[in-house]
Amino acid sequence: MGKGHPECPERIAAIQDRLMASGIWDYLLHVQAQPAEREQLLRVHPAEYLDKLALMSPAQGHVHLEPDTAMNPYSLNAAYYAAGAGVQAVDMLMQGRAGNVFCLVRPPGHHAERCRGMGFCFLNNIAVAARHALEHYGLSRVAIVDFDVHHGNGTEDAFFDEPRVQMVSIFQHPFFPYSGDVPKGSNMLNVPMPRASRGAEFREVVTEQWLPALNAFAPELIFISAGFDAHLEDDMGSMGLVEADYAWVTRQLMKVAATHAQGRIVSMLEGGYELSALARSVTEHIKVLADA
Ligand SMILES: [Zn+2]
């Protein structure tokens, strides 16, 4: 994204380091992602938009989609791989090659709308993965859970008119991208939260709103837009979640998945910019997913 930008390569390195230091790294199955195919991207993004991104992609230097979202010569390729990771994760679960999957990817995706990249996002990774589950495997109910501090406007844009998808989310409000307080569809359970909300308030929302909705919907696969920028130490937002809250919500989602979805969860990294807090939070999230 350019020098000094919070959506930086060190995010991935910090997470890998922490997973190694924690001792869990060696117990995980690691799979190298492959780039998403054009037909898979076309299930979410129109050809005109994909072509525009390819035309914009620079041979050198940076080009900006908007002031805080830039591409260098490698960004678009990274975005293809990030989207492809989710597709591959769905394949692994549906073919019984994994119990659940965490996709350690960047750039993130949940702000990317069908026809517009924004908020550090070019392609909507989780939307491409969810569409793959619906269209390729013929699932009739998938849930998308989003606990990033920012509203997943792109994912809402992709699915507000899709009854096979139930989305549940929390986000700080009012805050970037200044949407979500009025849901675009009846399948969108958006819960705006005031700044300074902490774990107790978050758990109340999950217990009283998310879980009843998810259990009523009975998803066959659960996707998690796993952003960790609602962490207390993350200055990108102003909320107060900590590692224990991320572990707790992951356990709740594991229970829903065990009841309805044969345990199937695809979790994909979204935001999270304070490197230490990000790495610790992802590690706790993966420990629960791995049942370690
Ligand atoms: Zn975010």
Ordered DSSP codes for 115-130: TB-BTTBSS-HHHHHH
- pLDDT of the residue at 89: 98
Spacing, Cα 248 to ligand 1 middle (Å): 20
- pLDDT of the residue at 264: 98
Spacing, Cα 110 to ligand 1 middle (Å): 8
pLDDT average, residue stretch 42-69 = 97
Spacing, Cα 270 to ligand 1 middle (Å): 6
- pLDDT of the residue at 52: 98
Catalytic residue numbers, as ranges: 111
Q: How far lies 195's CA from each of 198, 205, 229, in Å?
A: 9, 15, 13
Strands 265-269 and 165-172 turn out to be unpaired
pLDDT in tens, 118-133: 999 999 999 999 999 9
Question: Would you say residue 157 has pLDDT above 90?
Answer: yes
Spacing, Cα 235 to ligand 1 middle (Å): 11
Rounded-to-integer distance, Cα 44 and Cα 57, Å: 20
Count each helix (H run) and each strand (E run) in the chain, helices first: 10, 8
What does the DSSP 8-state code read for residue 241?
B
pLDDT average, residue stretch 85-97 = 98
- pLDDT of the residue at 292: 72
Cα angle, residue 100 at apex, residues 80 and 19 outer, rounded to 5°: 80
| Closest listed residue to residue 290, CA positions, set 28, 36, 87, 85 | 28
Question: Would you say residue 183 has pLDDT above 90?
Answer: yes
Question: Would you say residue 92 has pLDDT above 80?
Answer: yes
Spacing, Cα 239 to ligand 1 middle (Å): 11
Spacing, Cα 148 to ligand 1 middle (Å): 5
Query: Quick one: what percent of the chain has pLDDT higher than 90?
Result: 99
- Please answer whether residues 281 and 272 qualify as being in contact, where contact means their C-beta atoms are separated by less than 8 angstroms: yes
User: What length is written for the chain?
Assistant: 292
* Average pLDDT of every residue of the chain: 98
pLDDT in tens, 53-64: 999 999 999 999
pLDDT average, residue stretch 175-187 = 98
pLDDT average, residue stretch 252-259 = 98
- pLDDT of the residue at 224: 99
